[in-house]
């Protein structure tokens, strides 16, 4: 073995979860090694990659997949995720310093109290091993760390708060305001989203200036990215090693984790030892790594005595609608997403069908409008007129549907497909049940109602359950070691010094983006680790 390294804390993955844990532990005086499979790419390079790309519609384009740490690509497809299930799990995620929050809409929602007690209240799914109130202080701490701007106390988002948001909300665009006014008058509950995007200078980052380029890259760093805390961890003394693809977690016969092994891009292997280990490599790569880490003592992989590692895979299956309003609304001004409909996040209906959140897209529709008109053969002045008219009137609404934790939905290392380092690719078994489908049928009706309120023409529904890249459940949390992977502290039941910081631990998906919950769980975990060094 080349080059041995050792630290108090070894963290695998430098996204928002790993970066936060590494930063907190370095501040506490622990020695920290932060391992990242992908490269370190500066923001300016990502901006230039996007600027020079002929394909602007694929948010992964500025982040080219590497042979040694590939991630899913779809235009063209690299088939990194091997699809074996009834329905494709076509999620995007990134493998580079900072992780997937390089491209996201910055939505920073809290779960509802009822989301922690889904089975107790509604008889479906699972419960968390603790109530909302346990995580609430960590939600507040996460909002400070990420820099969240959100509405004041006059707007109830359903999640009780002990502290206000650290920043006032960003101003809403004309489209967001008009959309809200029309729907609120008809009984819809429409609210401004809390977002990890600066409404004033914050944490040495500037105010959002409305580039409308949050995905794939905020060019000025007004929007939070995981790289913020990866770099803060370095500044606090952590050792960050990029291009370090961890392929094995080593356990001794007593069940303690003794080391992780990584390969560099040339295939050279390094063993890293430590006292405490944190896996933070997202909800697909983390369980894949755990299942690959077999030994005589642990023939089914580390942390897997329950046979739940890789199982209970969830996302927020999405549907959408696009239509032409009977008035210009000018989408594309300001951040890419700021407004949500939240009537359907909770209620007795959850016993029967999935909760959901609907949200208005504020992306610029010019490219899709132009492509459609060119297919019709329009040219010249008429093409220009139609682009201006249609781009101003195009509305797009999407949704997140709650998915239940089901053991048959799972990730395993592929036996047949490997990357350039010989590491197995993820193999996915995924299906969408009637709980989601029944809710989506209702969502379709809601879309039709909303389109009618705007005199919608050329109404186009997308009922194909698009992925929303919220990878949850695969290292699920629970109080019973027989049916879960980690306990309430995110400690694996099988190994007292192995912890997981990830959306993979979430027992319920709820109906909102999971990044703030990841951050809250990571800060709660770091506080636990400080008492164990």
Catalytic positions, written as ranges: 470
Contacts of 163 (CB under 8 A, 6+ apart): 140, 143
Token pair, residue 166, equals 């650290």
CA dihedral 362, 365, 366, 369 (to 10 degrees): -160
DSSP string, 27-75: HTT--EEEE-SS----HHHHHHHHHT-S--S-TTTTSPPPSSS----BT
**Alpha carbons 15 and 84: distance in angstroms, whole number:** 27
Contacts of 335 (CB under 8 A, 6+ apart): 105, 106, 170, 195, 197, 208, 210, 212, 214, 223, 362
What is the sign of the dihedral through the CA atoms of 71, 74, 79 and 85?
positive
487: left (phi over 0), alpha (psi -120 to 50) or beta: beta
Question: Rg of the chain over CA atoms, in angstroms?
Answer: 23
Token pair, residue 475, equals 């290292």
CB-neighbour burial class of residue 220 (10 A; exposed 0-12, middle 13-18, buried 19+): middle
Report yes or no: 75 and 386 within 8 Å, Cβ to Cβ. Answer: no
**Alpha carbons 107 and 120: distance in angstroms, whole number:** 28
Report yes or no: 5 and 33 within 8 Å, Cβ to Cβ. Answer: yes
Coil, strand or helix at 385 = helix
**Alpha carbons 310 and 353: distance in angstroms, whole number:** 25
Beta strands at 82-83 and 32-35: parallel, antiparallel or unpaired: unpaired
Closest CA to 423 of 273, 305, 284: 284
**Alpha carbons 521 and 145: distance in angstroms, whole number:** 13
Give me the count of residues in the chain.
533
372-443-314 Cα angle (round to 5): 95
Inter-CA distances, 314 with 399, 409, 490, 510, Å: 15, 8, 18, 10
Closest CA to 275 of 5, 8, 4, 498: 8
**Alpha carbons 381 and 389: distance in angstroms, whole number:** 12
**Residue in the block written with tokens 């609210």:** 191
């Amino acid at each position: 073995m080349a080059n041995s390294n050792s630290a108090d804390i070894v963290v695998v993955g430098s996204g928002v979860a790993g970066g936060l844990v590494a930063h907190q532990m370095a501040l506490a005086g622990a020695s920290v090694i932060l391992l990242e499979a992908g490269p370190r790419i500066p923001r300016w390079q990502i901006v230039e990659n996007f600027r020079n790309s002929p394909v602007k519609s694929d948010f992964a384009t500025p982040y080219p997949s590497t042979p040694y740490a590939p991630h899913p690509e779809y235009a063209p497809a690299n088939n990194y995720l091997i699809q074996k299930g009834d329905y494709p799990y076509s999620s995007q995620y990134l493998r580079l310093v900072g992780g997937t929050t390089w491209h996201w809409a910055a939505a920073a929602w809290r779960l509802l109290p009822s989301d922690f007690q889904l089975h107790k209240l509604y008889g479906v799914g699972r419960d968390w091993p603790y109530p909302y109130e346990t995580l609430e202080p960590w939600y507040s701490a996460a909002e400070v760390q990420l820099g969240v701007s959100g509405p004041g106390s006059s707007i109830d988002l359903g999640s009780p708060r002990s502290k206000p948001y650290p920043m006032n909300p960003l101003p809403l665009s004309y489209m967001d305001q008009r959309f809200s006014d029309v729907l609120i008058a008809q009984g819809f509950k429409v609210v401004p989203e809390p977002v990890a995007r600066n409404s004033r200078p914050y944490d040495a980052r500037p105010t959002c200036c409305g580039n409308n380029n949050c995905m794939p890259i905020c060019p000025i760093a007004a929007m939070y990215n995981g790289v913020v805390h990866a770099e803060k961890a370095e500044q606090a003394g952590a050792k960050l090693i990029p291009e370090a693809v961890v392929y094995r977690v080593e356990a001794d016969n007593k069940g303690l984790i003794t080391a992780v092994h990584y390969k560099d891009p040339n295939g050279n292997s390094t063993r890293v030892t430590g006292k405490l280990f944190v896996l933070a490599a997202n909800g697909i790569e983390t369980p894949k790594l755990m299942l690959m880490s077999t030994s005589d003592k642990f023939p089914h992989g580390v942390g897997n005595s329950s046979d739940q590692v890789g199982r209970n895979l969830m996302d927020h299956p999405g549907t959408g609608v696009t239509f032409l309003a009977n008035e210009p609304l000018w989408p594309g001004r300001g951040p890419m997403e700021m407004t949500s409909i939240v009537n359907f996040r909770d209620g007795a209906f959850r016993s029967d069908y999935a909760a959901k959140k609907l949200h208005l897209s504020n992306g610029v529709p010019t490219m899709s409008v132009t492509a459609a008109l060119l297919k019709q053969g329009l040219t010249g002045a008429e093409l220009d007129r139609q682009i201006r008219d249609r781009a101003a009137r195009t509305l797009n609404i999407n949704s997140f549907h709650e998915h239940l934790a089901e053991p048959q939905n799972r990730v395993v290392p592929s036996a047949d497909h490997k990357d350039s380092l010989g590491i197995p690719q993820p193999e996915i078994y995924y299906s969408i049940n009637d709980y989601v489908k029944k809710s989506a049928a209702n969502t379709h009706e809601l879309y039709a109602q909303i389109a009618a309120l705007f005199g919608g023409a050329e109404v186009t529904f997308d009922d194909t359950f698009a992925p929303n890249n919220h990878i949850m459940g695969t290292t699920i949390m629970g109080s019973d070691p027989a049916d879960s992977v980690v306990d309430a502290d995110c400690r694996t039941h099988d190994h007292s010094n192995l912890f997981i910081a990830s959306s993979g631990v979430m027992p319920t998906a709820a109906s909102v983006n999971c990044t703030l919950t990841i951050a809250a769980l990571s800060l709660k975990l770091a506080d636990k680790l400080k008492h164990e060094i």
